[in-house]
Amino acid sequence: MTHLARSRFPHRHLLGIAQLEAEDIELVLDLADSYVEVQRRPEKKLEILRGFTQINLFFESSTRTRTSFELAGKRLGADVVNMAVQHSAIRKGETLIDTAMTLNAMRPDVLVIRHADSGAVALLARHVRCSVINAGDGSHEHPTQALLDALTIRRRKGRIAGLTVAICGDIAHSRVARSNMLLLGRLGARVRAVGPRTLVPREIASYGVEIHHDMRRGLEGADIVMMLRLQTERMQGSFVPSVREYFRFYGLTRDKLRHAAPDALIMHPGPMNRGVEIDGEVADDIHRSAILDQVEMGVAVRMACLDLLTRDRRPAADGDGFRPEGG
Ligand code: NCD
């Protein structure tokens, strides 16, 4: 425990997995493991971030990610403010950078930002003094999702190195896929990108993944089957002939799942479209599906990230209130 309380995270912002070394990732996961225990107690609230302000600025709609960040901040004792962008000055023509500078002048300690444009979060981070966490920028990165996926896998399988992970579906438009390919590769998993040619372009191979257009072959022996939604909001034009056709070839059904390892774990970042990328019955199989575990791990991982990013600004960071075993 002590090594966790003392460890320093050498980053001010969490903008992507691309900036993290394997040991940074492991530090987040180890700390998040202890926060899972905190969350399972009746009394969940710590004082680590008392006096700190966290602003959640979501330019794209979100339910689970925003709620998860809000709970994480509150469980650490921070004051958390959710900015509803629909009503903000952005709608009145203010630029993104002006919004960031205005918020910065209110002296938050952490800004959690989601934006529809790849690179927008990194741009904002250059104009503020606080820590910035990327909660998803366009089809670029969604680092806390990959970290929570890794925590889910590590807890269910005991390791990440050496596992075969099949990421299936709309890889082209998915920030979840990009962050996961980077993280899983860095921790030594074998990653496959599985889907139609239109959604798994050849350039994806530059992430060090194997490409499969045949779902059955892509699933062969996989330990983890990670399904992704068709991100129609990011598609210009038509990428699949029809939803029915898509489900027939790429939807995860019991039949296709038989090609994966017998104890393969099913994952999905949500929101899930039943009958499009996944059969409802497969998604609900409590023995195989880790989808709700992922949601639980999300809060713990975000608590770990908030804790690590603010450590250098907290007095006595090596003991202040983080007592997961005791209270
Ligand atoms: C994902 C996202 O927003 O990138 N959702 C999430 O954060 N849980 C995936 C998606 O929208 O399909």
Residue 269 Cα, ligand 1 centroid: separation in angstroms?
6
Indicate whether residue 179 lines ligand 1 (CB < 6 A).
no
309 to 49, 116, 317: CA distances (angstroms) = 11, 24, 11
> Average of pLDDT values for 130-147?
98
Q: Residue 277 has what pLDDT?
A: 96
Q: What is the tens place of the pLDDT at every residue in 27-65?
A: 999 999 999 999 999 999 999 999 999 999 999 888 899
CA-proximal residue: ligand 1, atom 3 (nearest):
136
Indicate whether residue 270 lines ligand 1 (CB < 6 A).
yes
Q: Give residue 327's pLDDT band: very low, low, confident or very high (50, 70, 90).
A: very low
Question: Comparing 260 with 88, which gets the higher pLDDT?
Answer: 260
Indicate whether residue 234 lines ligand 1 (CB < 6 A).
no
Residue 119 Cα, ligand 1 centroid: separation in angstroms?
17
For the chain, how far is it from start to end, CA to CA, in angstroms? 14
What value does the mean pLDDT of the chain take? 92
Residue 117 Cα, ligand 1 centroid: separation in angstroms?
14
Q: What is the tens place of the pLDDT at every residue in 95-112?
A: 888 888 899 999 999 999
Rg (CA), the chain: 20
Indicate whether residue 127 lines ligand 1 (CB < 6 A).
no
Burial 17-36 (b: 16+ CB within 10 A, else e): beebeeebbbbbbbbbbbbb
Q: Does 261 score more than 50 pLDDT?
A: yes
Q: Which atom of ligand 1 is nearest to the CA of 60?
A: 3
Q: Give residue 83's pLDDT band: very low, low, confident or very high (50, 70, 90).
A: confident
Q: Which atom of ligand 1 is nearest to the CA of 135?
A: 7
Indicate whether residue 269 lines ligand 1 (CB < 6 A).
yes
Indicate whether residue 136 lines ligand 1 (CB < 6 A).
yes
Query: For the chain, how are helix, strand and coil distributed in percent, rounded to 5?
Result: 45, 15, 40
CA angle 304, 309, 312 (to 5 degrees): 120
Q: What is the tens place of the pLDDT at every residue in 157-207?
A: 999 999 999 999 999 999 999 999 999 999 999 999 999 999 999 999 999
CA-proximal residue: ligand 1, atom 7 (nearest):
65
